Amino acid sequence: MPFAIAHDGAKLHYSIHDYTDPWRNAPTIFLQHGFGRSGKFWFNVVPYLTRYFRVVCPDIRGLGQSVPLAKASESLTVPNCLRDLESIADHLNLESFHLVGESIAGGLGLMFAGLYPKRIRSLVAIAPAVYANEWIRNAYAVGFPTWEEAVRKLGVEGWVRKSNTLARFPADTDPAFLEWYAQEVGKSDVESIAAMTKFAGSVDARPLLEKIEAPVLAIYPTSGQIATKEMEQLLLDGIRNVSVTHLRTSYQMLTMLEPADCARQILSLASLQEGFVARE
């Protein structure tokens, strides 16, 4: 399995998917997953992209197939995860790349693009939480005093099951999919997910928006409690080159609910920047 070593020694797993023409030096897209997930959760978006782009799916430190962290509460932080993206890009000898982040990783992607503007060719933020608002902190506590306590008391899988229909998925979502989703996220270590509640609460891209140079596309649901109209307006007011589009759902997990539409938007922006049309 491919791994990169972070600045502090954390071992970061990533997967590469590439069905581009072997004689081309195809550009690269990073797909960064959101809260508690892993690179595996891009399974239904990846096939649309890999004919034209080399696709890299990193696992956030401590999650997925990245090596478990000895001290998750100290290691799984926003500054470290931002540097982890840089470490994987350096490991792959990439001066610049296209970046896609979903949900809280949409906010992380905005921060990365502001901190490392020369490394990002384009950015797609899917239902991005520009910062963690009070609704996120309160709703995902699911009746417990804090979000972290809910994860510890219920366990990761139990917490996922209790919170799945708050904003992620509609109540009539395929039960087999919801079962798979709960079990897959439930494989994560409790300490890592508890640390992620603090990580998510500290994502705040607002101070960096004006530093972003790459073209940005924000894909939002028609309405939502996480990806709100206020978040949209922050991007429109703060980023020089940004466009916003909406997909036909009011739920957060756009990559799971509308994968083809998400992929089409990603391909459109990235291929425009590369000067070709992603169509055969």
Write down all domains in the chain, each with its CATH number in brackets.
Answer: 3-132+202-274 (3.40.50.1820)
d(CA 56, CA 14): 7
User: Do the Cβ atoms of 113 and 216 come closer than 8 Å?
Assistant: yes
Token duo for residue 203: 């994502």
DSSP string, 105-169: HHHHHHHHHHHSGGGEEEEEEES--SB--HHHHHHTTTTSSSHHHHHHHHHHHHHHHHHTTTTTS
DSSP character at residue 55: E
Residue 80: name the closest of 57, 58, 55 by CA.
58
Has this prediction a pTM greater than 0.75?
yes
d(CA 278, CA 116): 27
Per-residue pLDDT reduced to its tens digit, 256-273: 999 999 999 999 999 999
User: Do the Cβ atoms of 257 and 169 come closer than 8 Å?
Assistant: yes
Token duo for residue 81: 């995860």
User: Do the Cβ atoms of 80 and 6 come closer than 8 Å?
Assistant: yes
Per-residue pLDDT reduced to its tens digit, 150-171: 999 999 999 999 999 999 999 9
User: Do the Cβ atoms of 12 and 87 come closer than 8 Å?
Assistant: yes
Q: Assess whether pLDDT exceeds 90 at residue 202.
A: yes
Per-residue pLDDT band for 116 (boundaries 50, 70, 90) equals very high
For residue 17, CA distances in Å to 49, 51, 97 come to 9, 9, 15
